[in-house]
């Protein structure tokens, strides 16, 4: 009898908690490893301010996030790259209409071990290194040491962004594919011969590594991704928007959370997490996605018309 | 009353028959799924190219995508065989110790501990590979990092050990007592009896245990994904980064657009993997049966 009482109590408690879960506004956020810490922080602060909303942030890579949005497994897809036209087609086929919001600006940072004597590279040199054409540090002004390539797995938006905007070619087959930004930073701490790339938020907090200065071409000025003025002026060559994709014009809890992310307070958190606040052009773009100015732009894939440095091309 | 019992009996028989059948259905179902899902890939990829070329790059944008899994096949075999090379001697040694040398008390403590080893999640072992085994390998071989095939082999050896030890011990224990007594009576020492009589008599059981351990190693995913560095180039030594077939499926299946050649090719890798583990398990089963017959 005692056991029945206990079982009944547990059952009742479960029903009670489930009711709470259902009563709350659940927002599922999924995708980019570059954005995860920042969005996690934003969601924690937002949830503390707005009890009744539950936001779950998970990773898996930009490709996984966008696939989740297309398969309706998440409400917001974090993505460090832009959605591909094939993905838009796939989404439309399933009745999903991906809309883009830019939540932060990232200066993709090229990092090496703290022991490496090289402290600057041109975009062309970075491309050659990752394509496997330059194999030794002495070819780019360093010691005689073979280069070990660290990068991300193919489900990563950063992997695609590097390939399409910096390398302009295919990765060397010797690339070590790591699981996330933190794993790359950790590997470079130990490997004196390594080179890697991470979001600037991760470059700032990691220790035992060196962040390289980058120039567009030989003879041009080298800029530091951690200098917020150079990044915001668009002088640092490898900057990119960090995006969130939603299905259609966002409503309800999703919309409220996005508005919080884009607010002054939200953008202050973005900067505190090591990334950069979005400039005015993107704010106007986001307003359109959110339907704030009335007309909603149909094509979410045209950042270049906005006059913001969206890569290096 | 008797009739009622008879019915119950039949019902239970039927139920167990269904349970047995279910396993077969699941196995056949998996096989059929893998074949039907991977067949479309071979409309676009030549089978020989898929199996023997080492140029896997299905997400290529600047060149045409290529789907050769040769380097992954080699990587998987390298890591598994490396694991066996480490685990078999250790496993046989431990099994011989447990069955012949250890006191009853030690055996009672050691056996459950070995079984617990089998229960450690593979992520935890992979993590050890990154923070412990990797740096040690880098230091010993004077290389810049320890994310390579050797690292994977060591970790998989640790994971295959429990299977190999407990099955080998069973095999050693089932060698008839008379063999051992005859050997000792002829004046052989304890060591000679163990090495020249008991282990050869239990050999087929030990081989079967090793094959099962290999089956486990080939299919393992998370550990190798974390510890082997995941580079797609054809490996030429154990100190190079490798990417196994399981790691490729785990990395790419989450984001691949459905019903594309890439998607079907991933199922193709699954099929190859299934066939390899099936053969390995089959061999171990045949060897095991043969040895049971011989001893009877």
| Mean pLDDT score, B240-267 | 90
Pairwise CA distance, residues B79 & B83, whole Å: 6
- Based on the domain organization, do B30 and B160 belong to the same domain? no
- Tell me if B169 sits within 8 A of B99, measured CB to CB: yes
- Based on the domain organization, do B137 and B78 belong to the same domain? yes
- Tell me if A63 sits within 8 A of A161, measured CB to CB: no
- Based on the domain organization, do A152 and A74 belong to the same domain? no
- Based on the domain organization, do A219 and A266 belong to the same domain? no
Nearest to B284 by CA among B211, B226, B224, B233: B211
Residue B122 C-alpha, separation from nearest chain A C-alpha, in angstroms: 16
Look at B145 and A90 and tell me if their CB atoms are within 8 Å: no
- Based on the domain organization, do A142 and A226 belong to the same domain? yes
pLDDT, tens digit (0-9, with 9 covering 90-100), for B123-157: 999 999 999 999 999 999 999 999 999 999 999 99
- Based on the domain organization, do B34 and B98 belong to the same domain? no
SS3 state of residue A177: strand
- Based on the domain organization, do B184 and B78 belong to the same domain? yes
- Based on the domain organization, do A130 and A63 belong to the same domain? no
Q: Name the domain count of chain A.
A: 2
Per CB-CB distance under 8 Å, the chain B contacts of A61 are: 254-255
Pairwise CA distance, residues A191 & A65, whole Å: 31
Q: Is the pLDDT of residue B217 over 80?
A: yes
pLDDT, tens digit (0-9, with 9 covering 90-100), for B22-72: 999 999 999 999 999 999 999 889 989 999 999 999 988 899 999 999 999
Look at B145 and A194 and tell me if their CB atoms are within 8 Å: yes
String of b and e for B244-274 (b: at least 16 CB within 10 Å)? bbbbbbbbbeebbbeebbbbbbbbbbbbbbb
pTM beyond 0.90, yes or no: no
- Based on the domain organization, do B33 and B72 belong to the same domain? no
Pairwise CA distance, residues B107 & A179, whole Å: 41
If you measure CA to CA, which chain A residue comes closest to B145?
A191
Which of A232, A258, A281 is the last residue in one of the domains? A232
Residue A22, in any domain of the structure: no
Pairwise CA distance, residues A179 & A172, whole Å: 18
pLDDT, tens digit (0-9, with 9 covering 90-100), for A159-208: 999 999 999 999 999 999 998 999 999 999 989 999 999 999 999 988 89
- Based on the domain organization, do B9 and B138 belong to the same domain? no
Residue A2, in any domain of the structure: no
- Based on the domain organization, do A115 and A95 belong to the same domain? no
- Based on the domain organization, do A149 and A223 belong to the same domain? yes
Residue-range definition of the domain harbouring residue A55: 27-105+241-306
Per CB-CB distance under 8 Å, the chain B contacts of A187 are: 145, 147
Look at B145 and A190 and tell me if their CB atoms are within 8 Å: yes
pLDDT score, position A305: 38
pLDDT, tens digit (0-9, with 9 covering 90-100), for A242-296: 999 999 999 899 999 999 999 999 999 999 999 999 988 898 889 988 887 644 4
pLDDT score, position A10: 62
pLDDT score, position B291: 67
CATH code (residue B255)? 1.10.3720.10
Residue A37, in any domain of the structure: yes
- Based on the domain organization, do A114 and A228 belong to the same domain? yes
CATH code (residue A245)? 3.40.190.10
Q: Flag whether residue B221 sits within 8 Å of chain A, measured between CB atoms.
A: no
% of residues, chain A, pLDDT over 90: 69
Which of A232, A262, A281 is the last residue in one of the domains? A232
- Based on the domain organization, do A255 and A298 belong to the same domain? yes
pLDDT score, position A126: 97
Look at B254 and A153 and tell me if their CB atoms are within 8 Å: no
Query: How far, in whole angstroms, is CA B238 from its chain's centroid?
Result: 19
First to last CA, chain B: 42
Q: Flag whether residue B246 sits within 8 Å of chain A, measured between CB atoms.
A: no
Tell me the pLDDT band of B255, cut-offs 50, 70 and 90. Answer: confident
- Based on the domain organization, do B32 and B51 belong to the same domain? no
Residue A5, in any domain of the structure: no
| Mean pLDDT score, B75-100 | 94
Size of interface A-B (CB pairs under 8 A): 85
Angle B287-B291-B296 from CA coordinates, rounded to 5°: 155
| Mean pLDDT score, A137-166 | 94
- Based on the domain organization, do B30 and B170 belong to the same domain? no
Per CB-CB distance under 8 Å, the chain A contacts of B251 are: 153-155, 177
- Based on the domain organization, do B9 and B110 belong to the same domain? no
Q: Name the domain count of chain B.
A: 2
Which residue in A87, A170, A174 is closest to B62 by CB distance? Answer: A170
- Based on the domain organization, do A165 and A206 belong to the same domain? yes
- Based on the domain organization, do B141 and B28 belong to the same domain? no
- In 10 A of CB A48, how many CB atoms? 8
Reading the block at residue B214, the tokens are: 């290999």
Q: Which residues contact B287 (CB under 8 A, 6 or more apart)?
A: B204, B207, B208, B211
Pairwise CA distance, residues B290 & A298, whole Å: 70
> Mutation test of the interface with chain B: which of A31, A59, A94, A153, choosing the one with the most B Cβ atoms within 10 A?
A153
pLDDT score, position A291: 84
Reading the block at residue A261, the tokens are: 């992310």
- In 10 A of CB A241, how many CB atoms? 25
Nearest to B114 by CA among B80, B141, B91, B81: B91
Which of A206, A232, A258 is the last residue in one of the domains? A232
Region of B223 on the Ramachandran plot (φ > 0 left; ψ -120 to 50 alpha; else beta):
alpha
Task: Give me the numbers of helices (H) and strands (E) for chain B, helices first please.
Answer: 15, 0
Residue A211, in any domain of the structure: yes
ipTM of the complex, rounded to two decimals: 0.83
Query: How far, in whole angstroms, is CA A268 from its chain's centroid?
Result: 17
Tell me the pLDDT band of A102, cut-offs 50, 70 and 90. Answer: very high
Cβ burial of A288 (10 Å; 0-12, 13-18, 19+) is: middle
Pairwise CA distance, residues A88 & A301, whole Å: 10
Helix (H) / strand (E) containing A215: strand A213-215
Residue A155, in any domain of the structure: yes
- Based on the domain organization, do B20 and B102 belong to the same domain? no
- Based on the domain organization, do A204 and A290 belong to the same domain? no
pLDDT score, position A31: 93
Residue A8, in any domain of the structure: no
- Based on the domain organization, do A113 and A227 belong to the same domain? yes
Residue A298, in any domain of the structure: yes
Look at B252 and A187 and tell me if their CB atoms are within 8 Å: no
Residue-range definition of the domain harbouring residue B33: 2-38
- Based on the domain organization, do A272 and A198 belong to the same domain? no
- Based on the domain organization, do B201 and B250 belong to the same domain? yes
pLDDT score, position A306: 39
Q: Which residues contact B289 (CB under 8 A, 6 or more apart)?
A: none
């Amino acid at each position: 009898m005692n056991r029945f009482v206990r079982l009944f109590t547990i059952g009742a408690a479960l029903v009670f908690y489930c009711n709470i879960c259902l009563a709350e506004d659940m927002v599922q956020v999924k995708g980019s490893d570059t954005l995860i810490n920042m969005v996690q922080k934003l969601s924690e602060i937002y949830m503390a301010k707005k009890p009744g909303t539950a936001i779950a942030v998970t990773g898996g890579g930009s490709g996984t996030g966008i696939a989740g949005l297309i398969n309706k497994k998440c409400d917001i897809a974090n993505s460090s790259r832009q959605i591909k036209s094939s993905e838009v087609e796939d989404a439309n086929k399933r009745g999903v209409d991906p809309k883009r919001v830019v939540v932060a600006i990232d200066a993709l940072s090229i990092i090496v071990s703290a022991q490496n004597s090289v402290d600057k590279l041109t975009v062309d040199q970075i491309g050659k290194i990752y394509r496997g054409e330059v194999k030794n540090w002495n070819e780019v002004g360093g010691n005689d040491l073979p280069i070990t390539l660290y990068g991300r797995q193919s489900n990563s938006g950063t992997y695609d962004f590097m390939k399409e905007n910096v390398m302009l070619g295919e990765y060397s087959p010797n690339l070590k594919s790591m699981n996330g930004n933190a794993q790359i930073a950790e590997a470079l701490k130990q490997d004196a011969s390594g080179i890697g790339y991470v979001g600037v938020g991760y470059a700032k907090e990691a220790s035992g590594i060196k962040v390289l200065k980058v120039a567009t071409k030989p003879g041009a000025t080298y800029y530091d991704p951690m200098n917020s003025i150079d990044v915001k002026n668009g002088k640092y060559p490898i900057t990119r928007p960090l995006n969130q994709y939603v299905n259609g014009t966002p409503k309800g809890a999703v919309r409220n959370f996005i508005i919080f992310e884009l607010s002054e307070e939200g953008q202050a958190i973005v900067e505190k997490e090591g990334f950069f606040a979005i400039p005015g052009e993107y704010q106007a773009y986001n307003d359109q996605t959110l339907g704030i100015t009335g007309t909603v732009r149909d094509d979410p894939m045209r950042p270049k018309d906005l006059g913001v440095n969206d890569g290096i091309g | 009353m008797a009739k009622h019992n008879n019915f119950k009996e039949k019902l239970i028989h039927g139920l167990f028959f269904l349970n047995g059948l279910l396993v077969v259905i699941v196995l056949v179902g998996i096989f059929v799924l893998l074949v039907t899902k991977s067949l479309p890939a071979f409309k676009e990829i030549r089978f020989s190219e898929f199996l023997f070329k080492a140029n896997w790059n299905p997400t290529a944008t600047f060149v045409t995508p290529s789907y050769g899994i040769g380097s992954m096949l080699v990587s998987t075999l390298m890591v598994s065989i490396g694991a066996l090379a480490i685990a078999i001697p250790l496993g046989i040694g431990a099994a011989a110790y447990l069955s012949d040398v250890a006191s009853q008390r030690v055996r009672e403590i050691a056996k459950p501990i070995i079984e617990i080893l089998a229960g450690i999640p593979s992520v935890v072992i992979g993590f050890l590979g990154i923070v412990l085994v990797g740096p040690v390998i880098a230091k010993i071989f004077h290389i810049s990092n320890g994310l390579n095939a050797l690292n994977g082999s060591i970790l998989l050896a640790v994971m295959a050990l429990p299977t190999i030890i407990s099955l080998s011990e069973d095999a050693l224990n089932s060698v008839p007592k008379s063999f051992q007594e005859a050997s000792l009576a002829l004046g052989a020492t304890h060591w000679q009896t163990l090495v020249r009589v008991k282990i050869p008599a239990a050999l087929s059981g030990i081989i079967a245990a090793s094959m099962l351990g290999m089956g486990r190693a080939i299919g393992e995913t998370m550990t190798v994904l974390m510890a082997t560095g995941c580079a797609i180039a054809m490996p030429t030594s154990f100190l190079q980064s490798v990417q196994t077939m399981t790691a490729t499926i785990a990395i790419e299946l989450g984001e691949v657009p459905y019903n594309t050649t890439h998607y079907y090719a991933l199922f193709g890798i699954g099929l190859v993997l299934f066939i390899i583990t099936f053969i390995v398990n089959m061999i171990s089963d045949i060897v095991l049966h043969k040895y049971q017959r011989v001893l009877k």
